[in-house]
Chains A and B, each alone.
Chain A
């Protein structure tokens, strides 16, 4: 009996007819879960870095999807880069000149934020769930609750718009694709200006608007080689950095004088 079931399980992908027979006698199916990982754990930024595409992939354990075309699951992926405080300024006209006027500080702005979903994420889960999970531009926690203030709302949406324009905030409604019954994948383009630090990738599995399972993985973005050296010098050893800059300029001037001088 047991061996017969095993054979049936092995044949399962081949014959839908047999699969029906094999699945039916199974006692209470184990709960569905999600596993995920990223194509790379570490990204090294060198001077020739022009951006990179990473692949986030995963699978649904004990998928109940009857056949690939009739997916019952939804997947949302959220990629968050290290956050930092940012100031948003609005130009105002003062005496004929456009001058930075009113400003708002947002204490925790993620340096990178991307949402990928298997279909429009607002259709996947309720507004409350999305808010709780911080899914979607409107639900990012920027450290300043702007809900009640229309002016702060304007500043908030401008910040998001500018981040979006720089490719640092992205929303892709069809960014996650299912392959077969349980495998899924999504790609994220990290632009040239990605901040360095630890990135957290959250993958959420939904069925009928209910969060079934979640999985988290991390990604490190580092500067290496010359880029790292310059960055370290500039921000940790600024005196040495300035001295090097002056020496380069002095050397440039000396060389120019020595090579091109005419007596």
Chain B
């Protein structure tokens, strides 16, 4: 009942399970205000979707999340469009590199391993940092101390670089190199891991570029729309790993789940929310690590070879 055959992934999945997966990740991303790609791609891999297809399809789903997020931010005037385009320019280059990297690894039969390892590394580090930070914040809140104010904007090494550009919305006059590099790193991650990359971009924009915090989220979402769209196109054309049926199910589940997540998130405290998210991120990292370390049930695997390869 409700079994649906995914034409590109070439597996049969349960319609309700995939809708539920999209809704769960949408709910979490709405609740925590994150893209959710770093949870979606591993969860798809856990449900038997081949890693390369999980990445491409995950990236496609993030287009939807970031469109609705960016629109909400745009109406509040929270997007630095000019900065966004520079980040996108870098992102497209990174996306191309990431897609080609995945193609090479896939042909060598190592895509699953490297994707999993990169996830373990990223999720492990980010989850641990978030957990420590949120626990500290909770302890401080209990002790009644005020949360430390953000340091005033200072000039750092970033401001010494050439090719300076004016970004009026961010009230910045900085070199175009750092946003291009940040964009490229995010594009690489998007293409290789099927994530939006907001978890890297937002801190980088705040601490490296010194952008005002109120426009950071909107600008990152603006960039993510275009970069994940480009990633989707690249995977569809170069790797043929995009499954549109699966993507549509995830988009549908995701937009519904997302709205309930936003409401649920408003009822929880920030530190608790972050601690909860940190625990989830760590759980996914541990599960991925286990799959790499434990002896697999079957040592052998088979894969078709593309006629062109």
B residues less than 8 Å from A158 (CB atoms): 300, 302
Would you call B304 and A84 a contact (CB within 8 A)? yes
Tell me the minimal C-beta distance from A164 to chain B in angstroms: 11
Would you call A88 and B300 a contact (CB within 8 A)? yes
Would you call B237 and A238 a contact (CB within 8 A)? yes
In the complex, which residues 226-243 of chain B have their Cβ closer than 8 Å to any Cβ of chain A? 229, 232-237, 240, 242
Dominant SS among interface residues on chain A: helix
Dominant SS among interface residues on chain B: helix
CA distance A192 to B66 in the complex (A): 35
Q: List the count of A-B residue pairs having beta carbons below 8 Å apart.
A: 171
Interface residue total, chain B, C-beta cutoff 8 A: 59
Interface bits A76-95 vs B (CB < 8 Å: 1, else 0): 00000000111111111100
**A105 at interface, CB cutoff 8 A:** yes
A residues less than 8 Å from B248 (CB atoms): 248
Known contacts A87-B303, A238-B237; A96/B247 CB under 8 A: no
Tell me the minimal C-beta distance from A103 to chain B in angstroms: 6
Q: Which of B12, B65, B233 contacts A246 (CB 8 A)?
A: B233
CA distance A252 to B5 in the complex (A): 22
Size bin of chain A's contact surface: 35 or more
Minimum CB distance partner of B300 in chain A:
A158
Would you call A100 and B7 a contact (CB within 8 A)? no
Q: Which of A88, A105, A249 contacts B232 (CB 8 A)?
A: A249
Would you call B251 and A239 a contact (CB within 8 A)? no
CA distance A100 to B251 in the complex (A): 33
Further contacts, 19 of them, CB under 8 A, given A234-B236, A248-B248: A47-B4, A50-B12, A84-B304, A87-B302, A89-B300, A89-B302, A93-B295, A97-B292, A159-B300, A239-B237, A241-B236, A245-B236, A245-B247, A246-B233, A249-B67, A249-B247, A253-B64, A254-B68, A257-B67
**30 A-B contacts, Cβ less than 8 Å apart?**
A89-B302, A90-B300, A96-B293, A98-B295, A103-B109, A158-B302, A162-B298, A192-B12, A230-B245, A235-B240, A238-B240, A239-B233, A239-B236, A239-B237, A242-B235, A245-B236, A245-B247, A246-B63, A246-B233, A248-B247, A249-B67, A249-B232, A250-B229, A252-B255, A253-B71, A253-B251, A254-B71, A256-B68, A260-B68, A260-B259
